[in-house]
Amino acid sequence: MRSSTRTLDWPNQPLPFKIYTSLAPMPLSLTFDVSSPPTGEIDLNSVARLAYFSNGVTRVLHGVAFRAAACTGALFHIEVYCVAGDLDELEAGVYHYGAHDNALRQLRRGDFRQVLIDASGQEPRVAGAPLTLVLTSTWWRNAWKYEARAYRHAFWDAGTLLANLLSVADGQGLPARLIVGFADSPVNQLLDVDPDQEAAIALVAIGRDAAPPRDSPPTPPLNLPTRPLSAHQVAYPQITAAHAASSLPDGAAAAGWRARFPVRREARRPITDEPVEAVILRRGSSRRFSQAAITLDGLRTLLARATCAFDCDAFVACDLYLIVNAVDDLQPGAYAYSRDTRTLELLKPGDHRPMATYLDLGQPLAGDAAFNAYWLVNLDVLDNRGYRAAQLSAAIEAGQLYLAAYGLGLGATGLTFFDDDVTRFFEPHASGKSVMFLTAVGHPFRR
């Protein structure tokens, strides 16, 4: 890394929004009473709430429009689409959420839910959902900076967005189930996206017990014009090859793949002690930590909330490792965390701030944090689609840790890392495992 001569092509930096230039916007309300009791109803207001607090622009600093969820490099390559039956104040159709103006744009008119039902292999929650959200990644918007590694970032950044989305849905009394297993081609065709440029990576079924769709209209190409992202794009064949290798051909394959995973019962509990929308509005990735200690009770609360269950068709429980730098009444060192007993096992005592800094590409953030959390998993027991599930599962839990940290008045940030060195540091306990995500938590440094 340090010997690289590559520099960023700043004049060619991609536009951080997907903007349809020929479609009329349907502006969404920004009037939310976060203290109001949940209604459990799915209408235009709930769609607006879910879209805004997962992918909306919550602040503009120094000319950069920051979103509700954290994203690598603030490049914001995740898009949100809505596939709805007839809802209160929203007719059945396929919609794109435009973060740049907080508005929906209708791509297709009619009830297209059957496409997702078939693509998911008749997954029951998709079949009964009045609304399903589809997340995509636009590869180039992140690959401009991170090259082929942007493929991993697609799931990292979708995961932090999903942590917001699932928490907001839960706060509104709306059942929400993440679907990782689906046939890729029909979903991409429904959204009219070219998988070499932009591809679906997750579905979220919202609600239950909806009347089934009456028919399944055709999904011909739309060829809708969008504003160019850059003057020119650079192709990274590893991204499209990896995505193709982890794609499922049809609904039967999706159902068969899903059957490999144990049924995960819903066990949702609040991530924060206040309305999650209020936490999201003040959340922002920390740029510097103070090295001050957090309490041991605070650490326990954060780990419990980070690993709290979310409804998913294919959850991969990554092993959680910590480098503890400054936690009151806890010896500094490297630890493994048990999900079952919620206890910490000391692996390597000592001050590991220099190592934490090194593992985070030499950045001081990890060394200054109160602790760093690493999600690791044995990829050899997973297939290609399972790799997607592992990345998403870790990223969602990291997103939950983000929200819990800000709920406790702390700061957090997601970081990248030297993959193999992370594994080596936690060996022999982590032998054979690969790191999926890293999050640093601590007291933000204030001038």
For the chain, the domain total comes to 2
Is residue 428 reached through a cis peptide bond, with omega within 30 degrees of 0 on the bond before it?
yes
Sequence-separated (6 or more) residues with CB below 8 Å from residue 122: 251, 255
Task: Note whether 438 and 292 are same-domain residues.
Answer: yes
Task: Note whether 188 and 39 are same-domain residues.
Answer: yes
3-class SS of residue 413: strand
Task: Note whether 218 and 353 are same-domain residues.
Answer: no
Sequence-separated (6 or more) residues with CB below 8 Å from residue 420: none
Residue 8 belongs to a domain: no
Give the range among 136-140, 170-174, 349-353, 428-432 with minimum mean pLDDT: 170-174
% of residues, the chain, pLDDT over 70: 97
Residue 2 pLDDT greater than 80, yes or no: no
Spell out where 155-302 has E strands. Answer: 176-179, 198-206
DSSP string covering 19-84: -BSSS--EE------TTSPP----BHHHHHHHHHHHHSEEEEETTEEEESS--GGG---EEEEEEE
Q: Are 14 and 229 in contact (CB under 8 A)?
A: yes
Model pLDDT for residues 143-178, shown as the tens digit of each residue: 999 999 999 999 999 999 999 999 999 999 999 999
* 215: containing domain: 27-258
Residue 19 belongs to a domain: no
Model pLDDT for residues 339-395, shown as the tens digit of each residue: 999 999 999 999 999 999 999 999 999 999 999 999 999 999 999 999 999 999 999
Determine the average pLDDT of the residues in 66-82: 97
Task: Note whether 310 and 377 are same-domain residues.
Answer: yes
Domain-terminating residue out of 258, 275, 299 = 258
Determine the average pLDDT of the residues in 400-418: 96
Q: Are 294 and 442 in contact (CB under 8 A)?
A: yes
Residue 113 belongs to a domain: yes
Task: Note whether 305 and 430 are same-domain residues.
Answer: yes
The Cβ-side half-sphere exposure at 406, using a 13 Å CA radius, reads 24
3-class SS of residue 130: coil
Task: Note whether 112 and 208 are same-domain residues.
Answer: yes
Task: Note whether 124 and 251 are same-domain residues.
Answer: yes
Looking at residue 35, what is its pLDDT? Answer: 67
Domain-terminating residue out of 258, 273, 293 = 258
Task: Note whether 189 and 94 are same-domain residues.
Answer: yes
3-class SS of residue 134: strand
Q: Are 439 and 372 in contact (CB under 8 A)?
A: yes
What integer best gives the mean pLDDT of the chain? 95
Looking at residue 230, what is its pLDDT? Answer: 97
Residue 120's alpha-carbon distances to 55, 80, 85, 312, in angstroms, are: 24, 18, 17, 13
Q: What is the pTM of this model?
A: 0.97
CATH number at residue 347: 3.40.109.10
